[in-house]
Amino acid sequence: MSEEIETDVLIVGAGPCGLTVANLLGVYGIRATLLDRESEILDFPRAVGIDDESLRTYQAAGLVGSLFADMLQNTPIRYHTSWGRCFAHVKPSVQPFGWPRRNLFLQPLYEAVLRQGLARFEQLDVRFGHDLRSFDEDDGGITAQVKGPGGAVNVRAQYLVGADGGRSTARTLAGIELTGTTAPVKWLVVDVCDDELDAPFAAVYCHPLSPVLVVPLPYRHRRFEFKLQPEDDEEEMTRPERVHELLAPHYRSLSMPTVVRSRVYWHHSRVAETFQKGRVFLAGDAAHLQPPFFGQGLNSGVRDATNLSWKLAAVVSGAADRRMLETYDVERRGHARAMVSFATRIGKMYSPRSLAAERARDASFRALQLIPGGREYILQMKYKPMPRYKSGVVVRAGDGRTDPVGRMFMQPVVEKADRRRVKLDDAIGTWFAVLGIHVDPTLHLSEESLQWWKSLGAGFFFVRAARSVPLPEEAGQLAPLPPTGTMTETLEDVDGAFRDWLLAAPRRSIIVLRPDRYVAATCDPAELEDTTRQLRRVMNPGAR
């Protein structure tokens, strides 16, 4: 007899991407089952870098504190030529989204925190040692056949999320191709601990033949990546004596570290031809694979998870029409492709084809840093491709380079009514938010539109100018902010970030934020009614 399970969302794969989807669905109150064929966290050397966008996701998932505790922030990266000159120095210091842009971590610790997070949600059913074997789709949902430790399990779900890695069973079963290339080169990746090297920066030695990457990690760990030669034998190169030979020049008179893991990787640049087929969605490595040079494989998977989770939650809870889910592929696939090609290009910069190519690269970097803004462009990592959704769950997304619609919104610090200073997302919750700068948005909505926003579960916020209340009776003793008299909460713009926004765009005093903190719409208060109508259409494409 097989075990029968019924759920709303079946998530296959409890790697970073699947765990993120599960935690977010937990926060949104959605019933889900998470499966992984393994019981233990994978112990391969993998991701070491996580970005500010991902940390914002974990802020929403309520896990950022524990994750942040095990990370290093703002570690610089130095790029060296083969003759030892540092030709580029990257050290982002700005925090537009409320978190440092570069954070170094140990993937097994991070996955352990994400696994712990699942226990907070009663409606999540988590099963390790469960292997997806096949599934059938009909008009009402998906029935998946799974092999569990106790025998066969059938899972009936409305939707299936294939977050089962590069060799995704879900992708294969859905008949979706992963198109692209695999580079004919292999890299040896070595993680060490008990590291005594006094080098608190990441270094990339861009040698045409044998480039090397060295990345400091928390708790005296360090990552080394060595490009291998075509004739190098994988087994031979991972022998402890051989690994020791490669590490020795980096430690010289220092004692040698302990090798934790070493493994040879091939680099893939591949993207699935679609991220959705019927009720099946691909996310993370199942949907795209990129060389690890820009440290964005996991981060891209977290972007998928963040984009998909709130959409599934909106549809499963009845707040949006099922066809809205088609915007997942529309919004995510193009950016995933851009990230894959960017990471592939960065890899070419690491190992130029010849000395002439290396000298040309060196000269162009030197020239770039001489032009105004060029140094900042490199230093602050402004070259990172950022998502910009021109279609999907957005209203009136213009073409301009500065149009905020479809981009991730800033995260300044604000003061709540009780005068506590918090990051914006902690003040506005994890779902839709309608912000009015110096205006209460609810006063510009018809009763019908207000009811729609309420049924969606959106929050309303009136952002006051900093210190715009009357002079306090006593110096340094601020009274709580006065209530609005409507359902709208008041916040105070203590960072001045909303003031600057309004100075730049006086007609954008209303901002509609999606749960993933992308801007769905901006408008003048007089246009809020029309903006609401348009957003309703986008979220309910099937409705008349």
Ligand X SMILES: Cc1cc2nc3c(=O)[nH]c(=O)nc-3n(C[C@H](O)[C@H](O)[C@H](O)COP(=O)(O)OP(=O)(O)OC[C@H]3O[C@@H](n4cnc5c(N)ncnc54)[C@H](O)[C@@H]3O)c2cc1C
Residue numbers at the binding site for ligand X (CB under 6 A): 12-18, 35-38, 42, 45-49, 131-132, 163-165, 169, 189, 265, 284-285, 292, 295-299, 301
Q: Which residues is 159 bridged to in the sheet? A: 9
Three-class SS of residue 444? helix
Residue nearer to ligand X on the CB measure, 38 or 245: 38
Percent of residues in the chain assigned helix, strand, coil, to nearest 5: 35, 30, 40
Neighbours of 452 (CB within 10 A): 19
Distance CA 288, CA 285 (A): 5
Neighbours of 44 (CB within 10 A): 13
Q: Which residue's Cβ has the minimum distance to ligand X?
A: 15
CB of 10 to ligand X, least distance (A): 10
CB of 124 to ligand X, least distance (A): 16
Residue nearer to ligand X on the CB measure, 137 or 529: 137
CB of 466 to ligand X, least distance (A): 37
DSSP state of 17: H
Q: What is the dihedral of CA 7, 10, 16, 19, to 10 degrees?
A: 0
Contact 164, 18 (CB under 8 A): yes
Contact 401, 388 (CB under 8 A): no
* CA distances (Å), origin 18, targets 91, 119, 123, 154, 488: 30, 15, 16, 19, 35
CB of 91 to ligand X, least distance (A): 17
Residue nearer to ligand X on the CB measure, 39 or 391: 39
Distance CA 292, CA 265 (A): 10
CB of 117 to ligand X, least distance (A): 15
Q: Which residues is 179 bridged to in the sheet? A: 271
Kindly state the tokens that stand for 316: 């499963």
How many secondary structure helices (H) and strands (E) does the chain include? 15, 28
Residue nearer to ligand X on the CB measure, 172 or 540: 172
Residue nearer to ligand X on the CB measure, 168 or 532: 168
Residue nearer to ligand X on the CB measure, 287 or 397: 287
* Element at 375 (helix H, strand E): helix 374-379
Residue nearer to ligand X on the CB measure, 49 or 441: 49
CB of 15 to ligand X, least distance (A): 2
CB of 229 to ligand X, least distance (A): 18
Largest CA distance in the chain: 79
Neighbours of 255 (CB within 10 A): 9
Residue nearer to ligand X on the CB measure, 83 or 266: 266
CB of 52 to ligand X, least distance (A): 12
Residue nearer to ligand X on the CB measure, 132 or 320: 132
CB of 224 to ligand X, least distance (A): 11
Contact 304, 336 (CB under 8 A): yes
